[in-house]
């Protein structure tokens, strides 16, 4: 039976491998998304880079390519370093803060708590809200004259702790960090709680039999197994801290002490009309995000493959 010749057999209507009807249907279905993502994500990013290499200032677009001028200017601009420094402080306080508070809340909720669902809902609620809502709410909290915090301090005899909060250049940035930790720790709690719950109960029981108890159980058995959820929460928090805009924009406008890169980008572009300068800041933001995200995506892809 070897060979290709079989007596009495004919080919009937061979369909070609390429361009079957199903392939055309697939293409038509996929095309809108490919075009939209391709254009709105990739073409626009490339376009933004092109703008950043031009000398476009003012309202009429100009694509006169001048190279890295904008970037050179940026690295001589003291406000850029102020913004960068504030961004770093924000990241260094906000990311670990949210991770630890979230982990702490997740462990509390894991201790067979009555009404767990209610507490979980309460802690997660801020995360569902818009940053604009958060900003307005915290403006009210921080208001120096009749705001919630100062009023409560007065009423409880802690009046000496009164402060200008968000309006005080010394503590303004920390007030911002506190408010966004309030908003994000429910999210990290959710991620950690899911991670804890995916550890089989038999492991906890085995550890208890082995003599571990109380918080040791978490320290020795649970927390070391939370690397994956911690990593994904870390990436989400990092990227957010990098591009945080809405909250600070609404809360403090362009005050120096809370000035961060996304604010600078928006101001240079849309208030000062220095489009190429703004685009350069945006490109740097994009590169910073890429440094965080690409290794993460690569890792999770490899894990998925295995």
Q: By CB under 8 A, is residue 243 in contact with other proteins?
A: yes
Give every CB contact of residue 220 below 8 A, 6+ residues apart in sequence: 207, 212
Tokens of 282: 């945006």
16 DSSP 8-state letter: P
Task: Tell me whether residue 43 or residue 92 sits nearer to other proteins (CB atom).
Answer: 43
Q: Which of residues 63-102 bind other proteins (CB under 8 A)?
A: none
As a whole number of angstroms, the distance between CA 233 and CA 222 comes to: 17
> In the set 171, 199, 217, 230, which binds other proteins (CB under 8 A)?
217
Q: By CB under 8 A, is residue 45 in contact with other proteins?
A: yes
Q: Which of residues 255-294 bind other proteins (CB under 8 A)?
A: 262, 265-266, 269-270, 275, 278-279, 281-283, 285-286, 289-290, 292-294
Q: By CB under 8 A, is residue 244 in contact with other proteins?
A: yes
> In the set 47, 75, 81, 100, which binds other proteins (CB under 8 A)?
47
Query: Would you give the distance in Å from CA 13 to the centre of its chain?
Result: 55
Task: Tell me whether residue 82 or residue 232 sits nearer to other proteins (CB atom).
Answer: 232
Q: By CB under 8 A, is residue 2 in contact with other proteins?
A: yes
Q: By CB under 8 A, is residue 174 in contact with other proteins?
A: no
Residue 87 CB, nearest approach to other proteins (Å): 12
Residue 199 CB, nearest approach to other proteins (Å): 12
- Directed axis angle between helix 148-155 and helix 131-142, to 10°? 40
As a whole number of angstroms, the distance between CA 224 and CA 15 comes to: 56
**HSE (CB half, 13 Å, CA atoms) of 1?**
1
CA pseudo-torsion sign 57, 62, 66, 71: positive
As a whole number of angstroms, the distance between CA 82 and CA 283 comes to: 18
Task: Tell me whether residue 171 or residue 228 sits nearer to other proteins (CB atom).
Answer: 228
Strand partners, 54: 65
As a whole number of angstroms, the distance between CA 273 and CA 62 comes to: 12
Residue 53 CB, nearest approach to other proteins (Å): 13
- Directed axis angle between helix 227-243 and helix 172-197, to 10°? 150
Site size toward other proteins (CB under 8 A) is 116
> In the set 65, 92, 148, 272, which binds other proteins (CB under 8 A)?
148
Q: By CB under 8 A, is residue 123 in contact with other proteins?
A: yes
Q: By CB under 8 A, is residue 232 in contact with other proteins?
A: yes
> In the set 19, 65, 152, 220, which binds other proteins (CB under 8 A)?
152
């Amino acid at each position: 039976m070897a060979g290709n010749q079989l007596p009495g057999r004919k080919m009937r209507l061979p369909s070609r491998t390429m361009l079957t009807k199903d392939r055309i249907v697939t293409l038509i279905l996929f095309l809108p998304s490919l075009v939209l993502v391709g254009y709105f994500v990739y073409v626009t990013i490339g376009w933004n880079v092109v703008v950043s290499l031009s000398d476009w200032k003012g309202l009429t677009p100009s694509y006169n390519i001048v190279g890295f001028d904008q970037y050179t200017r940026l690295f001589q601009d003291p406000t850029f370093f102020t913004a960068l420094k504030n961004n770093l402080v924000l990241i260094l306080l906000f990311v670990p803060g949210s991770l630890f508070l979230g982990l702490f809340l997740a462990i509390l909720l894991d201790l067979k708590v009555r009404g767990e669902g209610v507490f979980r809902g309460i802690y997660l609620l801020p995360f569902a809200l818009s940053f604009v809502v958060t900003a307005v709410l915290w403006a009210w909290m921080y208001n120096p004259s009749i705001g919630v915090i100062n009023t409560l301090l007065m009423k409880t005899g802690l009046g000496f702790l009164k402060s200008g909060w968000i309006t005080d250049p010394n503590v303004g940035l920390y007030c911002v960090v506190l408010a966004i930790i309030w908003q994000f720790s429910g999210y990290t709690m959710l991620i950690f709680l899911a991670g804890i719950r995916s550890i089989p109960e038999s492991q906890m029981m085995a550890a208890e039999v082995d003599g571990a108890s109380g918080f040791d159980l978490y320290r020795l058995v649970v927390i070391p197994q939370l690397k994956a959820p911690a990593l994904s929460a870390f990436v989400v928090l990092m990227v957010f801290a990098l591009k945080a805009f809405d909250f600070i924009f609404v809360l403090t406008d362009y005050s120096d002490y809370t000035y961060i890169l996304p604010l600078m980008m928006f101001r240079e572009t849309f208030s000062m009309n220095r489009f190429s300068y703004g685009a350069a800041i945006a490109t740097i933001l994009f590169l910073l995000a890429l440094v965080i995200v690409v290794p993460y995506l690569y890792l999770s892809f490899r894990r998925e493959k295995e």
